[in-house]
Amino acid sequence: MVCVVFAASPGIDFNDTYVPVTKMASIRTILALAAQMDYEIHQIDMKNAYLNSKFEEGEVVYMKLPPGMQLTDDKTLVCLLLKPLYGLKQAGHYWYQKMCRELESMPGTM
């Protein structure tokens, strides 16, 4: 599978969300149940989480060179990404897939 960053088209699929998100009503419900049952709530913030995910096997993603980085005068030069980066539209999706795989592989889970 080849995925090129330039393939996203503004106005068509450029603003698509590639990762599931939680609605505020769901969070409020969980917090209310936890308060009612006297459960403890913990929250974590994963630093550099997206860098721990990987592209799917055989997937190739390119990106333009970052602003200010000029290796040559060739304007067609691009970077081959080895891992998803922050700012990549699909980065959240890859992290979500990685998290699901890890949780499913834990003992005692389905």
Tell me what pLDDT residue 1 has. 37
How many domains, in total, are found in the chain? 1
Tell me what pLDDT residue 46 has. 74
The model scores a pTM over 0.75: no
Of residues 31 and 73, more confidently modeled: 31
Q: How far apart are CA 110 and CA 108, in angstroms?
A: 7
For the stretch 45-78, pLDDT in tens is 777 777 778 888 888 888 888 788 777 778 788 8
Residue 28: phi and psi, rounded to 5, are -60, -40
pLDDT band at 33 (very low <50, low <70, confident <90, very high): very high
| Beta strands per DSSP E along the chain | 62-64, 78-80
Q: Is residue 80 part of a domain?
A: yes
pLDDT band at 5 (very low <50, low <70, confident <90, very high): very low
Q: Is residue 99 part of a domain?
A: yes
Domain range for 55: 5-18+49-105
Reference 62, options 14, 7, 13; nearest CA is: 7
